[in-house]
Structure 1
Amino acid sequence: MDSITQAALGATIAGAVAGKQCNAKVLLVGAALGTLPDLDVVLDYGDAVSNTIKHRGFSHSLLLLPPFALLLSWLYCRFRPDAFWNFKRVSVLTLSVLVTHTLLDAMTTYGTQLIWPFEGYFELRNIFIIDPLYTVPLLIAIIVALFSNANGAKWCQSVLVLSTLYLGWGFTAQQYIANRVDQNLAQQGLPNKQVMITPTPFNTVLWRIVVMDEHYYWEGLASLLDEDKDIEFIARPKGAWPLEEKPDTLRGLKAFSHNYLNYREENDELIVSDLRLGMANNLAFEFIYAKRDDSGDWVLIDAPKRFPSPRGFEHLNTLWERLMGDQSIDANLTKQTLGYNR
């Protein structure tokens, strides 16, 4: 999730644990702890792909965070002994904030290395990386807690229940859409082995579907408000890696994306795109791996570079119309808003 959400979640959890001791200082500490795991973004692993796939690694590991939380708690109690903030209470607060950070990240589409140093990216994809309906209640609870010490903790506790229910709602909505997708794939004779269902920006009502096959992939949209349960899928060429040599970063990108990858040539550059994050022409992670030389042969570049693909939100009004169930714009929305008019 975004940094504001993680800070807000950390502050709210801290306020809930603090009880009658909930105050601005406690909320600030919770916010700081909530952003701590994401400080790994300052590390440079040498190239754009490595910086992407190694984020949410050791700093998000459920194998490392508990002992780290206990160490922080021991250090705090060692140098700031306090009758109320004893080791047990401090460790509960610290561990709760750090663990919920990584668990929330695992509910987005990006992928989180929950068991680092062991391999594996985990994601549920039941919430978009920015969702106001999740974040705003947390911010409200923090504001109330700042100006109402007596009821601040109760507000934090209540909003945490509400936010958890919202995550459950996202998962339930995803399963409803998944059942609809299964029916449509069977009716349309499309493959059903590698299917991704993820929310579109800022909501859990309109969902994007990506279906992979050996040579093609299909994109479609489905809203909970659709009257017609048919889904229009648009076929795209998947492309293929054209070189015999496969760099380590490509293998890493395949693992990170679960092989939801597209390969294309543009302006004599070989571009590899992660199809999961964003919406086609607004994909978040695209990388330049090779360029054609004077003879027309592909030559790997020394280090993959980020492709400057547009990642704006100029089509949000159209997405809103689609969210509300206007399926008449599906073909135009998928082909133009989602891109691939190349």
Structure 2
Amino acid sequence: MDSITQAVLGAALQGTVLGRIQGRRSLLYGAALGTLPDLDVIIRYADPVSQMTYHRGFSHSLFVLTGLALLLAWLVNTCWPGKGYTLPRLFLAFWLVLVTHPLLDAFTVYGTQLFWPLPTTPESWAAVFIIDPVYTLPLLAAVAYAVIKGLSGKAVRLLALALLFSTAYLGFGLAGRMAAEQRFQAALNQQGIVASDVRAVPIAFNSLVWRVLAKTPDGDYYEGISSGFDRQAPEMQRLPRNLELAKALAADPLHQRLRWFTNDWLRYDQVGDALVVTDLRMGIPGGYTFRFNMAHRDSQGHWVVDVPSMWKGAGPGSMFNGDDLVLIWRRIVAQQPPLPLAAWTERYLRPGAAERVR
């Protein structure tokens, strides 16, 4: 999730475990340690596919972070004896602050390599949006109270309650995601549509309305919207993944890595002479966050694999369109009129809106 959320989560955890010993400093130390795994963003890679797929890698590994927690606990206990610490308590605090960072990231849709260096598909539990004020604000309020009042008994209890609420909210998000998938699967079954790999992802700063995807055996996919307040079948549209275009990238290791990272939730489009590969998991219908130019046609009409580049028009901008957000938030409780899925897809995916970034 976002850095502010990770910082206040780390502060709340360390304040709860070590606050009576470290006082207000525990909040600062926990905030800094809680954001440490995201320092991998300073590593620059040669292309945006590598940048995307190596982020949340080794620095988010439960194995690496457990070892780091052990090392830090030993160092602090050795360098500052007589401060009231015990090695187990130090390890518990540092371990909780460090490992909850990637675990929280895994509750988003992006993909987190919890078990690096094992080559398992990155964890993507899709229970909460990458920015969710309902999760963050109670933690922020509890940490602010502790900063002002000090780590008194009341402050520590408030931190613990905020942590309990935030954990329960993640469970609420998981339940909402599974319910959205079940509603979508039921709607597909009712129409006699055969689909597989149904998955829901939260949309636009909440865990109440969901974007749901489902693959078909012939290479298309369905994309729809579902809310827990719905009384009718979710609106949906059928779209092509254009898998025949993927053959041009069959020997490209970066394409294979992208398939692995996204669990093959990819769409392929020929835009002019360019081959554009889209990660379908993040964004709003048509307005996807990650789109990459990965090949072009030469003068003989053959595909030539390129070093990937971001496609202009990709990115999170569509998720911050005020008019779209109003429609999305209204859709939480009002199913009619349905969201303009086809219009959004036309707006964001039409060839004229996408140009290669040079």
Query: What interval of TM-score do these two structures reach, taking the shorter chain for normalisation?
Result: over 0.9
Aligned to 1:218: 222
Contact 1:280–1:340 (Cα < 8 Å) also in 2: no
Partner letter of residue 117 of structure 2?
P
2:231 maps to 1:227? yes
Aligned to 2:43: 43
Q: Choose which of 322, 331, 356 in structure 2 pairs with 1:322.
A: 331
Aligned to 2:310: 306
Contact 1:19–1:154 (Cα < 8 Å) also in 2: no
Aligned to 1:337: 344
Measure the CA separation in 1 of the matches of 2:338 and 2:215: 23
Measure the CA separation in 2 of the matches of 1:76 and 1:167: 32
TM-score between the two structures when normalised by the length of structure 2: 0.90
Report the Cα offset of residue 90 of structure 1.
Answer: 1.6
Aligned to 1:182: 185
* Equivalent position SS for 2:270: strand
- Between 1:321-330 and 1:144-153, the stretch displaced more is 321-330
Partner letter of residue 294 of structure 1?
S
User: Matches of residues 182-331 of structure 1 in structure 2 within 5 Å?
Assistant: 182-213=185-216, 214-228=218-232, 230-240=233-243, 241-243=246-248, 245-301=250-306, 303-310=307-314, 311-312=316-317, 313-314=320-321, 315-330=324-339
Aligned to 2:52: 52
Report the Cα offset of residue 81 of structure 1.
Answer: 2.3
Aligned to 2:354: none
Contact 2:19–2:26 (Cα < 8 Å) also in 1: no
Report the Cα offset of residue 259 of structure 1.
Answer: 0.5
Report the Cα offset of residue 19 of structure 1.
Answer: 4.2
Partner letter of residue 110 of structure 2?
Y
Aligned to 1:141: 142
Deviations 1:280-318 (A, max 9, x none): 3321111110122233322111x2111122432111111
Measure the CA separation in 1 of the matches of 2:225 and 2:172: 19
Measure the CA separation in 2 of the matches of 1:79 and 1:118: 34
Measure the CA separation in 2 of the matches of 1:184 and 1:27: 48
Report the Cα offset of residue 153 of structure 1.
Answer: 1.2
Aligned to 2:109: 109
Contact 2:8–2:139 (Cα < 8 Å) also in 1: yes
Contact 1:223–1:325 (Cα < 8 Å) also in 2: no
User: Cα–Cα, structure 1 residues 118 and 227, in superposed 2: closer, same or farther, change >3 Å?
Assistant: same
Uncovered stretches (5+) of structure 1, i.e. residues with no partner: none
Report the Cα offset of residue 321 of structure 1.
Answer: 1.5
- Between 1:96-105 and 1:177-186, the stretch displaced more is 177-186
Report the Cα offset of residue 101 of structure 1.
Answer: 0.8
Identity of aligned residues (%): 38
- Between 1:240-249 and 1:256-265, the stretch displaced more is 240-249
* Equivalent position SS for 1:307: strand
Contact 1:110–1:277 (Cα < 8 Å) also in 2: yes
User: Cα–Cα, structure 1 residues 132 and 55, in superposed 2: closer, same or farther, change >3 Å?
Assistant: same
Contact 2:235–2:338 (Cα < 8 Å) also in 1: no
Contact 1:291–1:299 (Cα < 8 Å) also in 2: yes
Contact 1:208–1:219 (Cα < 8 Å) also in 2: yes
Report the Cα offset of residue 174 of structure 1.
Answer: 1.6
Partner letter of residue 111 of structure 2?
G
Report the Cα offset of residue 22 of structure 1.
Answer: 5.7
User: Matches of residues 71-110 of structure 1 in structure 2 within 5 Å?
Assistant: 71-110=71-110
Partner letter of residue 218 of structure 1?
Y
Partner letter of residue 100 of structure 2?
T
Report the Cα offset of residue 245 of structure 1.
Answer: 4.5
Contact 2:128–2:206 (Cα < 8 Å) also in 1: yes
Report the Cα offset of residue 102 of structure 1.
Answer: 1.1
Contact 1:6–1:34 (Cα < 8 Å) also in 2: yes
Contact 1:227–1:325 (Cα < 8 Å) also in 2: no
- Between 1:114-123 and 1:252-261, the stretch displaced more is 114-123
